[in-house]
Each structure stands twice: as structure tokens, then as C-alpha cells.
Structure 1
């Protein structure tokens, strides 16, 4: 149980980071333009944040205002599927008891989150790995690939596998109880 609680903290960190990234960078395009577009808008600082991030990282996905269709589809999935899962998991992992750990609903949500996030980030990793020096500065490519996108592939996939085994353990325990009765 101690290892599971430690892993839950790692998952909470990556989910919290993802939640921040979604709300501050990825999904801003879906907010009402009156909230962010003009320099006097209350959320215009998000435009400044995105510009600073793009300048620092060289992230080609956010360098242009219009995304390729496959990336736009990933952003839509992120907003419609991953955002609710992120919010739910952040709440459940932050407030789960160290004595009882996660519950089956949290574990199922973890599987869904891990699969969708891992898959989307793996696509982004593959795309970044294929980009030439004319599109992405080679000095920024490695840190963008391994420092920004790869952790959102690896950790969510590990989370999905871990949650899968937690559910299997629950099923096994139930089967043992049924057989002993």
C-alpha cells in the first residue's frame, strides 16, 4: 500500500501539471475571445504565457495560431475527455485516504486517463522526433521531446497499467471471498 500511495503522489503531480497546461495553454483557444484576445482582457496574460513558453521551448504545436487537423483532434479530445478525467483524478488522488487508498472508480478513471493521455502524447512525441532542423531547433528538440512530451507518455501509461493491476487485485480478492463462503 505504501508504494501505491507514493505512485498516487507521482500521478497527482503529472495530472496537476497536465491540468495547468490544459487550462493555461492548450484550451485557451476555446475560451470566449473577449476573455483573452485583447491586451485589456482579464485572461490576456495567458497569451503572454503561451508566447513565452513557445519562445523558450520552440514547441511547434503552439507556434502557429492554427493547428494541423490531427493535433486539433487531440486538443478536442483533451478538452472533452482528459479535462474532466484530470479534474476528477486530481480531486480523488489529493483527498484519498492513505489508509484506504484509491477506490475502483478512481482506478477506472486512471486507466481511461492514462490511455488517452499516453496515446496523445505518444503521437506528439513521434511527430516531434520526425521534425527536421528547419522546423524545430535541434538544441530545443531533445528537451521538448524528453522533458515536455515524453513524461506525459510514460507516466500516464504506467498509471493505466498500475490501475489495471489494482482492479485485478480487487477482482481476485472478491473471487477468494466468494469461494470461501
Structure 2
């Protein structure tokens, strides 16, 4: 199994964010799960990649040429692919991955997981999307998503598609048991 992880190129201001990325990376490697991610060696991105590699796992990174220097491309991966742009990066990651997980991060992380989730809603893929909710990081976002549904802009079914957890074992169990909704967006 290959899981795409979207997360910050910064480490955030709580040590628990970094600890969670390392813990999840070690867990993936122990379970034989390959990491697919954005290819950087800094922040949570670098931490989860290093944790998987140190534990003997495989890591596949995709980094746009323009970010290769800025995000400091990780040269020690199983395979690093330099791509022309963000669209190519996201498409390549989506192609390779069996599931999508968002750890804490910024606007880029939100954009990536929201795109994967939107594709799932539209039926472009049947892969699970998850928010790894370290220290309640995503609680304000979940409240906003509920508000969107309450305002009539989203069906509750689409919210229920999401996996929301902060435990590696629960994350993997929910990914493995995920059933895509039968009825897609209309």
C-alpha cells in the first residue's frame, strides 16, 4: 500500500506535530506502507520521510522544479521525481497513492487534501481521504465544514467520507475498511 501524506514544510509551533509525523512514519514503515509525499527534507515533510526511511521503508517524493531549492529537495529518498509544476506533482502523487492523509500544515496542505477529497466526491477515484488530527489541529476546519453543510452547500454524506483520527492504528484500520459512497455528486 502507498499512502500520500500532505503536510507542512514547516514543523509548526508545537512539538507534538513533529512527534506525530515521526510516529506515523515509523508506523507506516513497520506496516510495509510506502510513503508518497512532496519531496522536501524540511518541516513535517522531512520528518515523516526520514522516519519512514530510518525504519527501513520506501519513500517516493515529487517536487516541482521551482520548489526543488526552496523546499530543499530530499536527496535520500527511495525515488525523488522533479516535476514541472504543482499540477503535475499532485497528479503524480494521486496516481501513485492508495489513500490520502493530511497532517498539520498550511494552505498548500489544505489545497492538496481538499482537491483529493473533491475528486472523491465527484467519483474520479474511490480512495479514502483522512485528516490526521494532531492536538485537535483540524477541529476549527471541521467546524467550518459542518457550517458549509448546515448552509446547504455540501451533503452530510461527503463529510462522512472523511477519516478523522490522530492514532496510526485507527488511521490504517479505517483506510483498509473504507468503502467509497455508492452515490456520487450529481
Give the TM-score normalised by the residue count of structure 1.
0.27
Give the TM-score normalised by the residue count of structure 2.
0.26
Greater helix fraction, Structure 1 or Structure 2: 1
Greater strand fraction, Structure 1 or Structure 2: 2
